[in-house]
Amino acid sequence: MKVTVLSGGVGAARFLEGLSRTIEPASITAVCNVSDDLTWHGLHVSPDLDTLMYTLAGLEGEQGWGVRGDTQTTLERLREIGDEEWFSIGDRDLATHLYRTGRLRAGNTLTEVTQALMSSHGVKVNVLPVTDEPHPTIVRTAEGDLAFQDYFVRLRGAVPVTGFEFPGRDARPAPGVLRAIGEADLTVIAPSNPFVSITPMLVVQGVRQTLARMPGKRIAVSPIVAGAAIKGPAATMLESLGYEVSATAVAKLYQGLIDLFVVDTADEALLPEIRALGMDAVATDTMMTGSEGRARVARNVLAAAGFGESVA
Amino acid sequence: MKVTVLSGGVGAARFLEGLSRTIEPASITAVCNVSDDLTWHGLHVSPDLDTLMYTLAGLEGEQGWGVRGDTQTTLERLREIGDEEWFSIGDRDLATHLYRTGRLRAGNTLTEVTQALMSSHGVKVNVLPVTDEPHPTIVRTAEGDLAFQDYFVRLRGAVPVTGFEFPGRDARPAPGVLRAIGEADLTVIAPSNPFVSITPMLVVQGVRQTLARMPGKRIAVSPIVAGAAIKGPAATMLESLGYEVSATAVAKLYQGLIDLFVVDTADEALLPEIRALGMDAVATDTMMTGSEGRARVARNVLAAAGFGESVA
């Protein structure tokens, strides 16, 4: 059984970690968003790829990103020197960005560098950046167009969003991405932000079409539970874009792309309206609390998709 | 009295530190070599500028470079990840390179960034990169052309040198460089490597001509004492290029550019042959041992040039 997961950052990482302890890690491919990537003082930082790596390696920080217990010697010194630094990077985390940047400058692709990094971290899940090309998300706001991290980290997502722009929307998929989606028995859209994690991947050449036509099962797990986002700015974005803040609103965004939408038991009442969108829908426990919670959610989602049995 | 010092790394830094405790630091300009600069994992590293900064700020490491007592958390992690890293950079030192790279990418010149860094480190000496443009030293060796740090750090200078190439030899001087040399009462060529610290500066547009024509006094301090280099590969280079390894050989390289050559008392016997080159020559204690030693050498060099009195 081959499972492909379209992945953003923290939510996807936790889901994948649970999944990798439920089925053979080598049978899982994570196609990962790179539209949050940024150049930080000349270094290529890929927040979502790194969140997957640290989480799957059991190293993730308490907020879900960075390296647990990391020090900030360099960052503190940078601030002392007078740098108005708002992006927080620890000393061990920094090594990842230096390594990636060095290898990219030496002519390696992001796919190759990601493979080397995952391997050095003992990660068995096959993690693929959705593209090797630059493909940033631009967040349109009342205060002008912003790079994603500028909006999300520097401004703490506190400025109303009016839309998104993907100047790299013609980016070509990285090697293996279309095959991983097209040949999977099951493709899961992770409980990630639909606007800035999933959509940027869908606009990469061939991804949406491959997902729409794949013969296997296609499911999505709602990142919205009981009208709120588990993590990140999904709820705020839905609201400022004029959507209802609900699992149903997310299901609508995936209409025509998925067979089944999985909501949390807290949203069981929404099942009829989601089914009315022309997709199957089930409610199950999707709260990934702790290590056991992650594995339980993975098993429940697999069961909802018809693979294996659910657990309480 | 205005003094300008043509500076390489460690030797120049120690001389400047002594000088800055002998005369008003703000009356000193250090024109600094940037031909050792390298791009390290995407970061712009300027070893000579940083050595001057750390030394003048009293922070220099025990080897003369880097930050004293620095940790290597990032570097150790980088090696764990599998990076075959031969250039050793500490955590605090890393902040300097991140700051410089970020400011350069934001459109600042190296001169502007250097000024900001020196200021944040409390350095009162006016430190100017000789040029704001890329101007690398290529070391020609029996094993092919090498970037300077590749030759010096990775190969530990253990491969015979056959020559040097400066592909950026048409680089324009940074703002203030020609004026600092042309208007100085005294220009000192620091006890730095003539081939890879001083010559790269002399080939920058107008530098050699300005030095040759300046009305003030021009002196050089020998980096070779008793047939050996105090620091770095100067002796090895002289030898593999077929020169005699002596202060006289260095004096010859500066013929026509300086009025006075200062050698160590250990090389007093060389004074007649140096004077035969058409320059004045004096012997004095040039061993910059400890903080007092640095100040003593600075005073002795000033005295040899006719400014103030020498000390024992």
| Measured distance CA(A116)–CA(A114) in Å, rounded | 5
Give me the residues of B, 51-90, that contact A with CB < 8 A.
71, 73-75, 77-78, 80-83
Q: Binning pLDDT at 50, 70 and 90, where does residue B232 land?
A: confident
| Closest-CA distance of chain B to residue A67, Å | 11
What backbone torsions phi and psi does residue A228 show, to the nearest 5 degrees?
Answer: -140, 155
With beta carbons under 8 A apart, name residues in chain B contacting A43: 41-43, 98
Q: How many CA atoms lie within 13 A of A174 on its CB side?
A: 26
Give the mutation candidate from A70, A79, A94, A103 for the B interface (greatest B CB count, under 10 A).
Answer: A94
With beta carbons under 8 A apart, name residues in chain A contacting B94: 74, 77, 94
H or E stretch covering A38 = strand A38-40
Tokens of B283: 């012997």
**Cβ atoms of A251 and A220 closer than 8 Å:** yes
Per residue in A270-309, pLDDT (tens digit) is 999 999 999 999 999 999 988 899 999 999 999 999 998 7
Rounded percentage of chain B residues whose pLDDT exceeds 90: 88
**Cβ atoms of A66 and A23 closer than 8 Å:** no
The ipTM value here is 0.91
Q: Tell me if chain B has a CB within 8 Å of the CB of A41.
A: yes
Does A98 contact B120 at a Cβ distance shorter than 8 Å?
no
Per residue in A108-117, pLDDT (tens digit) is 999 999 999 9
**Cβ atoms of B99 and A81 closer than 8 Å:** yes
Q: Binning pLDDT at 50, 70 and 90, where does residue B308 land?
A: confident
Count of Cβ atoms closer than 10 Å to residue B13 Cβ: 29
With beta carbons under 8 A apart, name residues in chain A contacting B120: 80-82
CB pairs under 8 A between A and B: 102
Write the DSSP symbol of residue B172: P
Inform me whether the pLDDT recorded for B85 exceeds 90: no
**What pLDDT, on the 0 to 100 scale, is given for residue B131?**
98
Tell me the mean pLDDT in the region B237-249: 95
Instruction: Output b/e per residue, B52-74; b: 16+ Cβ within 10 A.
Output: bbbbbbebbbeebbbbeebbbbb
Does A91 contact B91 at a Cβ distance shorter than 8 Å?
yes
Q: Which of B78, B99, B117 sits opposite A98 (nearest CB)?
A: B78
Per residue in A116-161, pLDDT (tens digit) is 999 999 999 999 999 999 999 999 998 899 999 999 988 988 999 9
**Cβ atoms of A286 and A300 closer than 8 Å:** yes
Predicted model pTM:
0.94
Does A43 contact B39 at a Cβ distance shorter than 8 Å?
no
Does B83 contact A94 at a Cβ distance shorter than 8 Å?
no
| CATH annotation of B3-139+166-304 | 3.40.50.10680
With beta carbons under 8 A apart, name residues in chain A contacting B98: 41-43, 74, 78, 83
Tokens of B305: 């040039």
**What pLDDT, on the 0 to 100 scale, is given for residue A250?**
98
Q: How many CA atoms lie within 13 A of B212 on its CB side?
A: 9
Q: Which amino acid is at A66?
A: G
Q: Which amino acid is at A84?
A: E
Cα Rg of chain B, angstroms: 19
Tokens of B286: 């040039």
Q: Binning pLDDT at 50, 70 and 90, where does residue A312 land?
A: low
Strand partners, B108: none
Does B43 contact A41 at a Cβ distance shorter than 8 Å?
yes
Q: Tell me if chain A has a CB within 8 Å of the CB of B91.
A: yes
Does B102 contact A41 at a Cβ distance shorter than 8 Å?
yes
Q: Which of A42, A81, A92 sits opposite B43 (nearest CB)?
A: A42
Does A98 contact B44 at a Cβ distance shorter than 8 Å?
no
Q: How far is the CA of B260 from the CAs of A64, A238, B47, B218, B276, in angstroms?
A: 64, 76, 28, 7, 12
